[in-house]
Structure 1
């Protein structure tokens, strides 16, 4: 059902918009009413200012001030700081440490969005929202990930330019969306490089840095779309905050509204 006022037969359908906003934790019902009157609330992309408006929380999309609101409370969104030595699987058939140990605090059956190889640590999203997972994981939607790599050797500004211009690997051309040299030691202590990519290719960061002559010593993913690892300790998981959920859902809705580019898969 699309949002509507009371139908012609007089039997109200759906839930009043201000109640939906209050149930979602946006604000009290009275403050939600003020938001509606001020034109700050949209349903399915249209501003709604009528107090009698009712919506279907299961199908209608609501945003406030341009930020998506989570209405389906059965969906869970969790961020994990995956340690090294753990494979990105919920049930590893080779008996290696997997992600199941980090989902025990949630009743829902969570799945990882994309993968980090066993030697790579950092931010991994776990969710039971398949639609959102598809947007985050598929490179055609252009969701970027930020990695910090400690590499062998002294990385030069020319190498950084090569990474952003692009290099040819055995499975095709690849270029970093952004690359930045964080530190470089002339005494053989290695270098720190920040890479931003949206590619979903297997072990792509390691292969890119290998190709420019700087094998990876340590690799961590610090950011995934609007989500930051912050100070979350290795091996710990937490639910996203309301602000983080809003940013993630907003990104997903915008991505599906825009035409996808011809990016690598």
Structure 2
């Protein structure tokens, strides 16, 4: 019988057709039915389970050492609670089911401090991320390459003072001769001394020269009558007073930069109106005003009296000015306009000698009523620019004047 039971058990593990499990009252009975046999084998196993954990006992409400339970904790049932041993106002130890108030306040304060620290750290991280990165450090070879090819070479001391707006170049030379200029702590009496404003420490009358020089300024002014093109004479109005508003608003438009010292490129006499260039760039002024630039200048002369061909021929023949025979490039009689009764002449010259146009007209036997300059090189005075007003020159305007910035 035992042999048959073992064979049946082995076969049913390979070909099990139907198995059922019944768990009646902690006894496991397994009934195995084979497809080839009608014999039923029953195996019984005894399984013991661990006893259930005891439920926690609630404190006795009648005990004098315990606080009366709340309505929320009276029906705890199987819930687990943590007892708190707290010292009361009289100094006696008592058992409570809720934590003391000072503990709850301390926990709340600690959570608040953690949030504040997190906020401070996040703000600091944002500041670090927003902070600009430091400038890259270049090698000695790169700095040497830049200094040799792109860095401006040292300049004459008088030129640096003039560019910084201290005074004109001649006045700067006088300040140097008077011993009012120091370079790196030593008095300098030579205007030709080469200095670098970025490296050398320069003082003028006890005031330090700023390292940053003002940017180059190029302006076109429609000069009115009665103004001179020099800042040295006090008895007559200078064109520089027309830039008072421009200089007052300089600090707002260019914070941290010193004011430029402006001067005119060439001159127009007191009675002549029209185009005059104002800048603080000495090289540009020398380039434009020098005869080698070969820039033509166009004037409109209003004449008192009639003008005929004989006058035009006499003007075109030229005249001697300062020992040099000067001839205009062209002379033209403009058409009569209904609002202007006097005849007008267009005269173009390129030498630009002192009172050249007035001398040419005077030599022809004519008298000038009004003279206005309207063009220098390829730049023409804007027709909508009022007298006493100025406009900033663009890069294309500078190229029209023969200057490549």
Q: TM-score range with shorter-chain normalisation?
A: 0.5 to 0.7
Residue from 216, 224, 237 that aligns with 1:97: 237
Query: Which structure 2 segments of 5+ residues have no match?
Result: 1-137, 154-212, 248-258
Q: Are 2:319 and 2:359, in contact at CA under 8 Å, matched by a contact in 1?
A: no
| CA-CA distance at 1:111 after TM superposition | 0.6
2:330 is the counterpart of 1:190: no
1:25-44 to 2 correspondence within 5 Å? none
Q: Are 1:138 and 1:200, in contact at CA under 8 Å, matched by a contact in 2?
A: no
| CA-CA distance at 1:91 after TM superposition | 3.3
Structure 1 match to 2:223? 82
Task: Provide, for residues 153-189 of structure 1, a one-character-per-residue CA deviation record: whole Å limited to 9, x for no partner.
Answer: 222234323322323457432110111110369xxx4
Structure 2 match to 1:65? none
Structure 1 match to 2:267? 115
Structure 1 match to 2:397? 244
2:301, 2:222 → 1: CA distance?
Answer: 16
2:141, 2:229 → 1: CA distance?
Answer: 53
Note closer, same or farther for the CA distance 1:162–1:56 as it changes in structure 2 (3 Å cut). Answer: same
Higher-helix-fraction structure: 2
| CA-CA distance at 1:225 after TM superposition | 1.6
Query: Which structure 1 segments of 5+ residues have no match?
Result: 1-5, 16-53, 60-71, 254-265
Q: Are 2:229 and 2:239, in contact at CA under 8 Å, matched by a contact in 1?
A: yes
Name the larger-Rg structure.
Answer: 2
Q: Are 2:299 and 2:374, in contact at CA under 8 Å, matched by a contact in 1?
A: yes
* Secondary structure of 2:396 counterpart: helix
CA RMSD of aligned residues (A): 3.0
1:10, 1:241 → 2: CA distance?
Answer: 33
Q: Are 1:183 and 1:193, in contact at CA under 8 Å, matched by a contact in 2?
A: no
Structure 2 match to 1:27? none
Higher RCO structure, 1 or 2 (CA under 8 Å, sep 6+): 1
Q: Are 2:318 and 2:360, in contact at CA under 8 Å, matched by a contact in 1?
A: no
Structure 2 match to 1:165? 317
2:316 is the counterpart of 1:139: no
Task: Provide, for residues 120-159 of structure 1, a one-character-per-residue CA deviation record: whole Å limited to 9, x for no partner.
Answer: 1000001111111112112233211110000122222343
2:305 is the counterpart of 1:129: no
Name the count of aligned residue pairs: 193
Note closer, same or farther for the CA distance 1:246–1:168 as it changes in structure 2 (3 Å cut). Answer: closer
1:227, 1:57 → 2: CA distance?
Answer: 31
1:164-243 to 2 correspondence within 5 Å? 164-169=316-321, 171-183=323-335, 189-230=341-382, 231-243=384-396
